[in-house]
Structure 1
Amino acid sequence: MGTVTPFPLGAKPNQIGFDRLELTRILDLYGRMVAAGHWRDYAIELGRDAAIFAAFRRSAERPEYRIEKRPALRQKQGEWALIGEHGAVLKRGHDLGPVLAPVERRLMKLIEE
């Protein structure tokens, strides 16, 4: 007979990830930026401390924006961060919507042009 391994309750997960609603919201923005002709590629990194979505204008350069989810900062600055191309934190918050707002505004400017 097999050995039963107990489910580790309260243990820290080995990998941080995006839930379905978060990923849907991020990919919706990504799709609209692709349709506007601005972004061409993306990458997702799931690690022990953070989940990162990086959006690229071209695949051979630094990401234009990184959207990071760091649950360890949930009680402090907020678990979400929008990081620019040069590594500066552009927006930080507890909810994903306000953190994505600068990119949404940029999308509106791209569509108007």
Structure 2
Amino acid sequence: MTDQPVTERLKTLLDAERTALLNGDFDRLSDLMEEKQALADALAERPLTARDVAPLRDGLRRNQELFDQAMAGIRNVAARIGDLNRARRATDTYDAHGKRQTIDAPASKRLERRA
């Protein structure tokens, strides 16, 4: 049996993973992760040439960069939401003498609905 079917399946999976990353489909990524692990285990048991490994390495590197950027974006959104929540609760300002003071927002007893 040759390595070609497994390497081809992994190349196809890497393309699907790239598409999922570009579309922000994180549910699909978790499904692909299990399949990728199984294919990686199958490849570990077979001798591979540099010609077989090069496109896989490039695809893995490309997807890792996309994943890192996606995670950075998620962290930025989370930080921004935290900033907005803090601003809703209180605002920091400075008086005429340059002294910092916090203005607390009035407590709301109203239930906020979000879509």
Assess same fold via TM > 0.5: no
TM-score range, shorter chain: under 0.3
Instruction: Considering fraction of residues, name the structure with more helix.
Output: 2
Q: Greater relative contact order: 1 or 2 (C-alpha under 8 angstroms, separation 6 or more)?
A: 2
